[in-house]
Structure 1
Amino acid sequence: MPTGIALRDVREQLFDAAERVLLAHGPSALTSRAVTDEAGVAKGVLHRHFADFDAFLAEFVLDRIHRMDPKAAALREATGTGRVVDNLAQALIGLFGSVAVAIVALVTFRDGLRARLRDTWPAGVPVLTDAADIIAGYLRAERSGGRLKPDADVDTIAFMLIGAGHLLFADRTGTPPEPSVVWIKVAAVVGPWLA
């Protein structure tokens, strides 16, 4: 990139490039060179905006987690409407059909990134623990509304749903599961707790 040309939203440009590389080639291909090549910028651009590559990746992961906010809002708005199993199955398909599965692999793959994320995320894998919190909040609201049994342990149910969803979607190179398969798993986990 010639000098003197201003880059608009360079952080977002780099984050989008990182997502494309991650989804196309996996975490082992995600290097600063791959990101800057994909973004069409000089390698120095990344290092001007971030202390090092793990700092870049940590901010990338946190940015992608914040993109789950609209999905969380949609699930909260579904409280009391439709069927609980349908709402949860759609939420899992939306979550795991996104970049989330690739981010889990990235966090698992890079020790330096995990260490950097511990500064702001003390436990668990960021995408998965945030998703579990979102689902537990929804389940809590449904329990309060009488659509789940009063003794339903919503935190455990949420973790079970996240674990099942991750196992269904974990092979990023394979065909994603059919929605009916996701629905069956959600029904098996949540069904006994429906009021």
Structure 2
Amino acid sequence: MSRHKAREVRHESTPEERAPIERDSLALWARRLRVPLGILLAGLFLVLARPSWTALAIGGAVSFSGLLIRGWSAGHIVKNDRLATGGPYAYTRNPLYFGSFVLAFGLAAAAHWAFGLAVISFWWIVYGPVIADERKSIRSLFPHSYPEWERNVPAFLPRLTPWRPKGAETSSFSLERYLGHKEWQAALGYAAVVGWLALRASGQF
């Protein structure tokens, strides 16, 4: 068995075996609202941000750690084919969402503490229901291994040590997966926002 066909990332059910998933109405509304709300927050952020150099340095570093978490996660996941529980998925079941939160919070808090609170509220209102709804779909796709993973790994805030099920092989980061998921676009976005905040901090705009 190869490293990528480890127990923690195996395919478990066919489309014919999967029961229909009842969509949560709150999650449906959250999905509809996240784009317009996100655009509104981003617009206010870009116009009103007035960071200090100290705040930008601290917030930028926090945000960069979120970018690394996202990249690490993208290099492990194989969507809908195998359940990824290695790498960052041994710490949290939703490392992409967690990384995105850290990425957004760091930049927002650098601009102003009020934007940091806005990001926390946005994530709780919008992504809380989405994560809960996606749990149903993933559990349906991987009915055998998901329950054990769920019992041992938190949904959002990471555990301090990685969960390592007995007898499971560890998966490794794949640059091909990282590029395939186009995660480099997040890096470009991060650089653009940090550049904009630097211009705002210098008083040029």
The answer, yes or no, to whether TM exceeds 0.5 is no
TM-score w.r.t. the length of structure 2 is 0.29
TM-score w.r.t. the length of structure 1 is 0.30
